Amino acid sequence: MGNISLVDNGFLLTESQNSPKHVACLQVWELPKGKGSAWLRGLLADLKEHPAGFPFNQKLQYKIPLQPELVTDRAIDMDYHVRHTVLPHPGDDEQLWKMVARLHANLLDRERPLWEFHLIEGLANRRFAFYTKIHHALADGITLNRWFTDAGSKDSSEHDTLPIWHGEKIRPKASKKEPGYARLLGESIRVFGGSIRTALDMTTLTIRLVNGRLFAKNRDITLPLAAPRTPLNVTTGSARALTAVSFQLEDVKAVAVAQGVTVNDVLLTMVDLAIHRYFTEKGSPLEDALVVYMPVNLRTENDRERGNLVSLLQVRLSSKLSDPLTALHEIRRSSRTAREVFSGFGKPAIQLYSLAVALISLFEESLKLSKFLPPVQNLVVSNVPGPRNMLYFRGAKGVHAYPISTLPPLTALNVTANSYAGQMNVGLVAGRTVIPDIDRLAEHIGIAFTDLVALT
């Protein structure tokens, strides 16, 4: 049994039918030589025999309203959690993404452990896929990537590879029981197990943000409720549109090195250019610079526990999109400023600030205040490092690993990049009512990168 931390519980509190809060990965594999449908069905049957370890064997228990605990499920129904899907002929990538979009739109059952695994058979060119989703309250993208890496093998001849849910993941260190939400304001320092520094950090951080933006007039600093109104900032339905676009990681790094920026800056610029071009093509050009939520990893090499250790920084994108290289350097300056604003503060204060900002969007959506207040952010863009080496699963070669994330309230687009074996796979998740032709947006991301390469 263990407590759900305040930050992790934020993903449970902000979840709704139209805004599920699970993260996922779509892995595409090549069948081993000489293997076919019978081998896949045998694989599925074998995987179901492997017991689930922590946290895959945990379900929610509410002894106190709105403050759940994790308890071990002694009777996990593996037929429910481990499922089989067969794509109809011809089994192309478009069919795969439409299938995964339907799976991703569904909430996880809170009466059971919060995860699902789908083996998808019938892909063209002797391929199959694993689609795995787990609630964000149990893992962030960094953790999920590490579990997938541990579940794979660098050796194609290894045939006893274990599924991601097998074995006990490292538990967080034991801590004192967290106080209830009624006492949260008075005991926020104790919630995070910190000291008076947490309160001081929060005060100093707020002063730094307000002073930099309002008094120093630094446009690279973004305050909550300062993003422009765009077609992306609406309450989406539950339907999702998914796709992905892939690049060679060395090509992206080459642009970054040549321009003296980071890979993340290149990603932000590609996405920024693509969104503006997409909506201009639709006849609804965006007039102002967009504001993105950019998750930043707070983990160190020694942080091996489950749960979430991320902060969400607000980064202002470019206002000079006619010149992609000028836009790239403007975004570089803005993202660097955002990091500098939060530098020097403890993790508890940064996470508490991120949670407070995230709850603003929830209240804005639930209280229907979007007509009167500007949005907190326009979209989410993140970059998660993944395995550097090619992985195998019982002889099957891992071809792609695509990240599939979640949508915050009043935000209809999430773009998450994940590196894998020399590739940079960029996964797009959108509200289907807002961006029904998401493949076109992905094409614009590819065109934007081609422009950056040519100019570099």
The set of catalytic residues is: 136
Query: Nearest CA to 232 among 13, 415, 426?
Result: 415
Are 373 and 132 a contacting pair, CB within 8 Å?
no
Distance CA 37, CA 148 (A): 24
- Transcribe 176-213 into DSSP letters: PPPPPGGGTGGGHHHHTT--HHHHHHHHHHHHHHHIII
Are 121 and 101 a contacting pair, CB within 8 Å?
no
Query: Nearest CA to 3 among 67, 73, 77?
Result: 67
Please give the C-alpha separations between residue 151 and each of 48, 272, 274, 371, 453, in angstroms, as whole numbers.
Answer: 15, 35, 35, 47, 35
Distance CA 312, CA 323 (A): 28
What is the enclosing helix (H) or strand (E) of 104? helix 93-105
161 burial (CB, 10 Å; 0-12 / 13-18 / 19+) is middle
Q: Where are the alpha helices (DSSP H) in 313-432?
A: 324-342, 347-366
The two structure tokens encoding residue 37 = 């449908």
The two structure tokens encoding residue 107 = 């909430």
What is the enclosing helix (H) or strand (E) of 272? helix 263-281
